[in-house]
Amino acid sequence: MTALLQVAGVGKAFGGVQALSECALEVEQGSIAGLIGPNGSGKTTLFNVITGYERVDEGEVYLNGSKITNLPPDKVFMLGIGRTFQLTRVFSRLTVMENMFVAAHHKERPAGRARIRNPFARAGGPVTRRRAMELLEFTGIAGHAGALAETLSYGQRKLLELSYVLMAEPEIVLLDEPAGGINPTLITTITGRIRELNRQGTTFLIVEHNMDFVMGLCDRVTVLDYGNAVVTGPPEVIRSDRRVLDAYLGTAEGDDDGSAA
Amino acid sequence: MSRLLRWGRPALIVAVLAFGAVFPLVYTNALTTTYAIDTLIFVGGVVAWNMFSGYSGYISLGHAVFFGAGAYTVGLLALHHKVLGSTAFWLLPLGGIAGAVIAVPFGLIALRARRHTFVVITIAVFFIFQLMAFNLAFTYGNGGVSTPFASWDPATYNNPYYYAALVIAVGAIALSWLIRGSRFGLQLLAIRDDEDRARGLGVRAMRVKLAAFVLSAFVTGVVGGLWVLFIGQALPETAFNPAYDLSVALMGFLGGFGTLWGPVLGALILEPLQQEITQRYTSGYAGEIVLGGLFLLVILFLPRGLLPTGQEWVTKLGAWRDRRGRPRRDSGTAAPGPAVAGAGAGAAAGAAERPGAGGAR
């Protein structure tokens, strides 16, 4: 069985800094995968490489077995990979509803018939509008649909980002620190929504520093250290894996060397 | 209040159009109609500029390239083929095409850069074109191009130009309105707010930006074509005029960058003002000094432009009146909730109505 998303031997350097090296990762269809690692271990770079924001130096990325390496972000999105950003990014001077429409535009194409699209078609047809409203109700911000996105709180923006990524019905959603900087109640809400979506068939890959969040939600967790996936396993195994502790706290030998010097 | 808004807008548009239609019949003075034509030319120009720069956030200071290309194309065609009178108006789409054709390679290069770099590239390209107009054989160098004189009745000589300018200005506004409410326009606005995020949601940014750039260039070329027919002469320094770019940008910022009507308002205020100053103080620089000073004032005090700021005041006033009129509900922060949401209807179509729509970055 091939994985839904596969990263194989990916390397990426910024100048002299090797952000990713020989990085390999597989996410199974229908799972919730976690990605953890200390700051600077390459988690966000890996996201950027998968979603086309950075080009890889070496290695390949596959979705459903077909190569998507170095495709531009818009193509990657249309192929079924949605992502959120660590610092939420919404279109602040558009309304919440319009934010949803941005993500929806390619879904509105008249299917089948080879008809030239009207370039000035109004944004947001009835189908799109209904779907957008459903999603906003699902994430609980439907009451703000007409408000400018800049008026939303940080947590609400995170929910909006999750909502519009879902507009295109992605196969897999990459979440970059979904629990970062928001209150515990909202974290519970987000956890619930992710579980619900996962039940409906959406696969997730989640970067997060909140260990309770990761360990409670994910089926499998991968630990990244110096741009390399050092270990993958179920949360309970990861929790006690020595290499994980090493990655976060530094190796014992390293400490010895340090004190000896 | 809301009923007033709903009917007030179309009624106002009809009234303004009617006024525009009868204007040269009421004000027959040639100087007045000349002002009016200049103003309408700038309305077309700034609306064209805004449908790219205002919506996408990419500030072009090189639109005079398209203006000049349109002017030279129409001027040269009229000259060589002895196109006279109102027949010459049929050349205007060719002026637009000249602008659009130049916009393709121009855009493919410049639109790879963002923000300041983009601005600088547009300025550089502008000077290349001005230099070419000075030096190429077919543009007749310093002497420029003079179009054949129309043999119209002197008393109403300006009227055909006036109506042509009115049609172009209204057409430009209509196009801008269409873009504003469309999926295409929404993608442009998304690019303005966060281009990389938009790309990650399936927006083919380069294609969208280029399309807007080319459309905007087409309209600007048409406007330039009309300008040369009216003025009767295109010189390298007047057709490819840096002051054109500054004027258009200033009008856009003054009225409300990225809104539908703001730039129109900006042109209606600034162009007559500029003409009047030039007329009154014959020293050529007075207008530019005033323009420069005004630019500073706008940036300092109205960074979002007249229209958005005005709408904000109206909204604030309304909220203030509501608060005074009604017993206060708890904390008063209740968001404009589901009622607004359900009527997400028009959320896109009414985009231009939003107070925050304009804003400088």
CA distance B27 to chain A (A): 37
Residues of B in contact with A90 (CB under 8 A): 193-194, 197
Residues of B in contact with A92 (CB under 8 A): 193-194
Residue A251 has pLDDT above 80, yes or no: no
Average pLDDT over every residue of A76-105: 89
Q: Is the dihedral of CA A13, A18, A20, A22 positive or negative?
A: positive
Whether B185 and B329 map to the same domain: the answer is: no
Whether B223 and B313 map to the same domain: the answer is: no
Residue B316, domain extent: 308-353
A145 or B337, which is more confident: A145
CA distance B295 to chain A (A): 24
% of chain B exceeding 90 in pLDDT: 43
Indicate yes or no: CB of A120 within 8 angstroms of CB of B193.
no
Indicate yes or no: CB of B199 within 8 angstroms of CB of A164.
no
Whether B189 and B41 map to the same domain: the answer is: yes
For A168, the closest chain B residue by CA position comes to B201
Q: What pLDDT does residue B210 have?
A: 96
For A50, the closest chain B residue by CA position comes to B200
Beta strands in chain A (DSSP E): 5-14, 17-27, 32-36, 58-63, 66-67, 81-83, 172-176, 203-207, 220-225, 228-233
Last residue of a domain, one of B247, B281, B316: B247
For A108, the closest chain B residue by CA position comes to B183
Task: Determine contact, residues A49/A20, Cβ cutoff 8 Å.
Answer: yes
Q: How far apart are CA A195 and CA A190, in angstroms?
A: 9
Indicate yes or no: CB of B201 within 8 angstroms of CB of A93.
no
Domain-located, residue B279: no
Whether B183 and B60 map to the same domain: the answer is: yes
Domain-located, residue B221: yes
B142 and A CB contact within 8 Å: no
| Alpha helix positions (H), B87-158 | 92-110, 115-135
Task: Kindly report which listed range (A107-121, A182-196, B65-79) carries the lowest average pLDDT score.
Answer: A107-121
Q: Give B189's pLDDT tier (boundaries 50, 70, 90).
A: very high
Q: How far apart are CA A123 and CA A101, in angstroms?
A: 7
Whether B59 and B172 map to the same domain: the answer is: yes
Tokens of B275: 């003409």
Whether B323 and B228 map to the same domain: the answer is: no
- At B99-138, the pLDDT tens digits run 999 999 999 999 998 889 999 999 999 999 999 988 887 8
Q: What pLDDT does residue B346 have?
A: 37
Last residue of a domain, one of B194, B229, B247: B247
Whether B337 and B216 map to the same domain: the answer is: no
Residues of B in contact with A102 (CB under 8 A): 186-187, 190, 198, 201, 203
Secondary element (H or E) of residue B8: helix B2-26
Domain-located, residue B194: yes
Indicate yes or no: CB of B344 within 8 angstroms of CB of A94.
no
Whether B190 and B337 map to the same domain: the answer is: no
CA distance between the termini of chain A: 50
B37 or B343, which is more confident: B37
Whether B152 and B56 map to the same domain: the answer is: yes
Q: What residues are paired with A207 via a beta bridge?
A: A35, A176
Task: Determine contact, residues A105/A117, Cβ cutoff 8 Å.
Answer: no
Residue B194 has pLDDT above 60, yes or no: yes
Last residue of a domain, one of B247, B272, B298: B247
| Residue in the structure block whose two tokens are 């992605």 | A170
Q: How far apart are CA B259 and CA B308, in angstroms?
A: 8
Domain-located, residue B299: no
Residue A107 has pLDDT above 90, yes or no: no
Whether the pTM exceeds 0.80: the reply is yes
Q: How far apart are CA A29 and CA A11, in angstroms?
A: 24
Residue A218 has pLDDT above 60, yes or no: yes
Q: How far apart are CA B122 and CA B119, in angstroms?
A: 5
Residues of A in contact with B315 (CB under 8 A): none
Whether B217 and B316 map to the same domain: the answer is: no
Q: How far apart are CA B339 and CA B342, in angstroms?
A: 5
Residues of B in contact with A146 (CB under 8 A): 336, 340-341, 343-344, 347
Indicate yes or no: CB of B202 within 8 angstroms of CB of A77.
yes
Average pLDDT over every residue of A49-70: 91
Interface test with B, best of A92, A105, A128, A138 (most B CBs within 10 A): A105
SS (H, E, C) A114-139: CCCCCCCCECCCHHHHHHHHHHHHHH
Q: How far apart are CA B130 and CA B128, in angstroms?
A: 6
For A170, the closest chain B residue by CA position comes to B201
Q: How far apart are CA B156 and CA B158, in angstroms?
A: 6
Domain-located, residue B51: yes
Q: How far apart are CA B255 and CA B352, in angstroms?
A: 13
Among A85, A91, A143, beta carbon nearest to B338: A143
Whether B243 and B312 map to the same domain: the answer is: no
| Residue in the structure block whose two tokens are 């430009």 | B172
Q: What residues are paired with B182 via a beta bridge?
A: A122
Indicate yes or no: CB of B183 within 8 angstroms of CB of A121.
yes
B196 and A CB contact within 8 Å: yes
B351 and A CB contact within 8 Å: yes
Indicate yes or no: CB of B184 within 8 angstroms of CB of A77.
no
Smallest CA-to-CA distance from B75 within B259, B180, B221 is with B221
Q: What pLDDT does residue B187 have?
A: 93
Domain-located, residue B89: yes
Residues of A in contact with B354 (CB under 8 A): 95, 148
Domain-located, residue B19: no
CA distance A136 to chain B (A): 10
Whether B323 and B183 map to the same domain: the answer is: no
Average pLDDT over every residue of A159-187: 89
Residues of B in contact with A98 (CB under 8 A): 186, 189, 347-348, 351
Indicate yes or no: CB of B193 within 8 angstroms of CB of A94.
yes
Smallest CA-to-CA distance from B60 within B294, B242, B273, B255 is with B242
Task: Determine contact, residues B239/B133, Cβ cutoff 8 Å.
Answer: yes
Indicate yes or no: CB of B337 within 8 angstroms of CB of A143.
yes
Among B192, B200, B348, beta carbon nearest to A83: B200
Quick count: other Cβ atoms within 10 Å of Cβ A43?
24
Indicate yes or no: CB of B348 within 8 angstroms of CB of A132.
no
- At B278-325, the pLDDT tens digits run 777 766 677 777 777 887 887 788 878 888 888 888 888 888 877 776
Indicate yes or no: CB of A98 within 8 angstroms of CB of B348.
yes
User: Looking at the 3D structure of chain B, how many domains does it have?
Assistant: 2
Q: How far apart are CA A69 and CA A55, in angstroms?
A: 8
Residues of A in contact with B201 (CB under 8 A): 74, 77, 102-103, 164-165, 167-168
| Residue in the structure block whose two tokens are 């190429």 | B136
Q: What pLDDT does residue B284 have?
A: 62
Residues of A in contact with B192 (CB under 8 A): 93
Domain-located, residue B33: yes
Q: What pLDDT does residue B342 have?
A: 36
Pairing of strands A5-14, A17-27: antiparallel
Rounded to whole angstroms, what are the CA distances from A41 to A21, A23, A57, A225, B104? 11, 11, 17, 5, 42
Q: How far apart are CA B160 and CA B274, in angstroms?
A: 23
**How many residues are there in chain A?**
261
Q: What pLDDT does residue B340 have?
A: 37
* Average of per-residue pLDDT values in chain A: 84
Q: How far apart are CA B248 and CA B39, in angstroms?
A: 11
Pairing of strands A203-207, A172-176: parallel
Chain pair A-B, CB pairs under 8 angstroms: 137
- At B84-100, the pLDDT tens digits run 777 888 889 999 999 99
3-state secondary structure of B257: coil
CA distance A95 to chain B (A): 7
* Average of per-residue pLDDT values in chain B: 83
